Amino acid sequence: LSELEALMERMKRLQEDKEDEEASQEEMATRFEKEKKESLLVISGGICAIPVPFSFDDEIVSTDVSRYIEDPGFGYKDFARRGEDHLPTFRAQDYTWENHGFSLVNRLYSDIGHLLDEKFRMVYNLTYNTMATHEDVDTTTLRRALFNYVHCMYGIRYDDYDYGEVNQLLERSLKVYIKTVTCYPERTTKRMYDSYWRQFKHSEKVHVNLLLMEARMQAELLYALRAITRHLT
């Protein structure tokens, strides 16, 4: 099978498996922890984290990028170190964008929550119902896997999502691309872009980039707004 046909076959099989039997909460929690730990090993060196100041001893920002930023020592650090048994987890049901973040950000800046929410929803739901040359395809499962994988890298877990889907739908080359674009966009290369979904249209792969960026923004907002909520209460 081609890469495209194999992906569509996995999507079909996932849907059939979901209809036959759903994974237990314990199984889904285990799969999340496995995916979270494995995400730290996708790229050698520092992996995704909450943005914090760090020294040039930890990371070197390329000169091509540093000319556009005021603080060249600002970048990403791991939210957890490799080898740790218990990585921190942000349980989404305890603080969600829909139920908590949206209302707080509107209090802090009138109507900005509506604009952000519209942007998140538009990018998440954007689809031509196509996959390369195939039409009338429901891409919901694939879009959800992309969005939730970014949140997984940030330690955010959705109790009602089976992270086994991420492992089945996103091959390693795509995970490398996701990690790079989300955490170190200045390191993204055309070779990385070309290495996944070779049969897909450029518009479809650009949509992947949009999904990744919106997922990252929402993850960062969740951490920041949760901290503000705790401070206010």
pLDDT (tens digit per residue) in 174-223: 999 999 999 888 888 899 899 899 999 999 999 999 999 999 999 999 99
Residue type, 81: R
For residue 71, what pLDDT is reported? 75
For residue 79, what pLDDT is reported? 65
For residue 60, what pLDDT is reported? 40
Alpha helices, DSSP H, located in the chain: 3-20, 25-39, 63-66, 102-108, 112-125, 140-153, 164-169, 172-183, 190-194, 202-232
For residues 155 and 36, what is the distance between their CA atoms, to the nearest angstrom? 7
Whether pTM > 0.75 for this model: the answer is: yes
For residues 7 and 168, what is the distance between their CA atoms, to the nearest angstrom? 9
For the record, the structure tokens of 25 come out as 């909460």
Please report, for residues 7, 117, 153, the alpha-carbon distance to residue 48 in angstroms, rounded to integers and kept in the order given.
26, 24, 6
Spell out, as residue ranges, where the chain has pLDDT lower than 70: 1, 19, 43-67, 72, 78-85
